[in-house]
Structure 1
């Protein structure tokens, strides 16, 4: 291994390129949204352990990168390791001329179901957006339940959430699915009322009803309060993080391949989930390398459910999913599904010139800071 480079690119992504002394290179993505520059610095620091080493020793590198420091963990470090891990798997597949899922035991399906986003951060026009996704051939969508939300909602607040779910169900019909993302924006006191309000419209799952730091105190109660599956996991980064939420009864796990230790760790998280009868639905409102990595795991994972993807998402105002690809056809969606990629490694070819130009222009995306009407902090 001779070189590791990081690239900050619009709209809010961080790519990593790992080059080897035999001319083979691999790409990964690990830009923790809002802290991509911090994650890039972590990649640079961690890469010191890889220089001069055999890139095919992926598991050995993962163990050393995650456990080699006295102080361990954290989203920035885990995201940096995820990017490097993806790049090493990409190199392994390219050297052998096979897609990564062949190295994970081979495919268990020939196509993967995907969903798109509607409504934005402050959801609006959801009926029209859902109808447009249906017309485009998508079989599932996801939307935020609400924008910033009071700790104890009024009857109108709850009714507005329910009405959005009603509109989407009417626009999609009963042969399509939608999921509702609470995004950790609602309080533990409000969550049961909102879950009850959207239940009649049969969402595929209800996501992140409380912030992760409340999982240990509130999640089991919420799981037991509803017949709809509860999903969570985009802000969990390891098997040890997922164990208590699985024990609490969550049945849809959503690790992010660019945050939760990469392909190596998410593969293990999926296996852990399977022992609880839970299914995998990887979080991925990110770029092409993140999605490519997700798909490699999806095609080799028996307990996979559905895959998030960012084409047309409200964050992609200054860059789109396909902008940095030389082979964008790999992400062609037909009837709400994507076919099994057959190219080597992650299965995508990066337009390196476009990436370098975007990096020169720079990217400085930060997490929005929201306030309640009284001026106090509100969860985004």
Structure 2
């Protein structure tokens, strides 16, 4: 069997777009991967094409050999966009490998530890504040709207939800996006009173609407510095949080935040490669390690999880893309013993389900692990081309 073609597809969504990689073979098998390309990460497609050209005509089945070679070829620019491109290629190759053997990817690594994974509703309220009309749902404007959404999450059977940081001004909620350079006075990353008020009001409303048994997570992203994260942690302790999530590049600074936080700390979604995870583990910087499979790649993700287990740390996948990403994350959660919970986006473009040939199965707040060959989640190519993004 030989690789005959590599193609990237980009699909419009209400919040950006979905990106897929298709690797075709002369045996008729097609491997699919999902990757994240937007804003400053748009060159990933070009990197995939540059790396993928050398694979045309080669056997796709010795995946680890190919992955090792791709890693070594990008060693002078470790991590970052090069690794994300390599990860996409690797994911598609594992899909081919599984399909060639008629087995799910997790079966290639010893079979699943579990066949269902508890999930939490991610970006809960965040997307409805940002683009409710485009998503075809009621927009969020006030804490009362948040309480109503919390009741919806509970009614739909989810056991956990994760929201983000909102500003509260004049009774109205808006998203806090300063860490991404999207609002005035962003450079200092200070935690202002109207933001802390919004965070507290949001979590109070979610707790009231969803009830005392709902697992609450707050993702504060990259919006503040250590002082701000510590103030947030102390302010939200009253809501019995599952975790406070943030992203920091310095292991010692994150360890300091954790030492002063009365709630568990989750982090590391932006870290790529086990060598970069290690100092955070060694300094005891996190209670939970967030691992992005689409950025690290499958093999590296498994190695990070194994290293985390040696430090008695449970993992949770960073997963906010399409259903193929969810399938890949579910294989990861099924395989590793040290899993906490899985992220998933429920609010999304009305046509997201049309992009895939397999339905994601949720039951009692869990996602059922796919057992079809490969990732068990093929892209509907005709639908992807129908909703193609202007890329």
TM-score in terms of structure 2 length = 0.85
Paired residues for 1:224-263 under 5 Å: 224-249=259-284, 250-260=286-296, 262-263=297-298
Question: Which residue is 1:326 aligned to?
Answer: 357
State the 1:326 CA deviation.
1.6
Distance 1:363 1:221 in 2: 44
State the 1:251 CA deviation.
2.2
Q: Is residue 348 from structure 1 mapped to residue 377 from structure 2 by the alignment? A: yes
State the 1:37 CA deviation.
3.4
1:8 pairs, out of 7, 10, 26, with 10
Paired residues for 1:239-318 under 5 Å: 239-249=274-284, 250-260=286-296, 262-312=297-347, 316-317=348-349
Distance 1:85 1:347 in 2: 16
Q: What's the RMSD between the two structures over aligned residues?
A: 1.9
Question: Which residue is 1:176 aligned to?
Answer: 214
CA offsets 1:135-165 (integer angstroms, 9 cap, x no match): 1111111000231467444555423322222
State the 1:363 CA deviation.
4.0
State the 1:36 CA deviation.
5.4
Paired residues for 1:144-223 under 5 Å: 144-146=164-166, 147-148=176-177, 151-208=189-246, 211-213=247-249, 215-223=250-258
2:91 pairs, out of 86, 110, 129, with 86
CA offsets 1:197-244 (integer angstroms, 9 cap, x no match): 011111111111xx433x234101111112422111221111112112
| Preserved contact between residue 233 and residue 262 of structure 2 (Cα < 8 Å) | no
Distance change (3 Å), C-alpha of 1:87 and 1:148: closer
| Preserved contact between residue 223 and residue 248 of structure 1 (Cα < 8 Å) | no
Distance change (3 Å), C-alpha of 1:55 and 1:212: same
Q: Is residue 73 from structure 1 mapped to residue 48 from structure 2 by the alignment? A: no
State the 1:52 CA deviation.
2.1
Counting strand residues as a fraction of each chain, which structure ranks higher? 2
CA offsets 1:347-373 (integer angstroms, 9 cap, x no match): 1132111122233xx245xxxxxxxxx
| Preserved contact between residue 4 and residue 44 of structure 1 (Cα < 8 Å) | yes
Distance 1:276 1:20 in 2: 41
CA offsets 1:92-113 (integer angstroms, 9 cap, x no match): 1101111111112111012111
Distance change (3 Å), C-alpha of 1:318 and 1:42: farther
Distance 1:289 1:71 in 2: 30
Distance 1:193 1:339 in 2: 38
Distance 1:76 1:355 in 2: 24
Distance 1:72 1:3 in 2: 26
Paired residues for 1:25-174 under 5 Å: 25-35=30-40, 37-69=42-74, 71-117=76-122, 118-120=124-126, 124=141, 125-146=145-166, 147-148=176-177, 151-174=189-212
Unaligned runs of 5+ in 2: 130-139, 167-175, 179-184
CA offsets 1:6-31 (integer angstroms, 9 cap, x no match): 11112222100111122211100112
CA offsets 1:268-302 (integer angstroms, 9 cap, x no match): 11111111111111011111221111111111110
Q: Give the 3-state SS of the residue equivalent to 2:224 in structure 1.
A: coil
Aligned residue pairs total: 352
Distance change (3 Å), C-alpha of 1:130 and 1:248: farther
Unaligned runs of 5+ in 1: 365-380
Deviates more, 1:120-129 or 1:170-179: 120-129
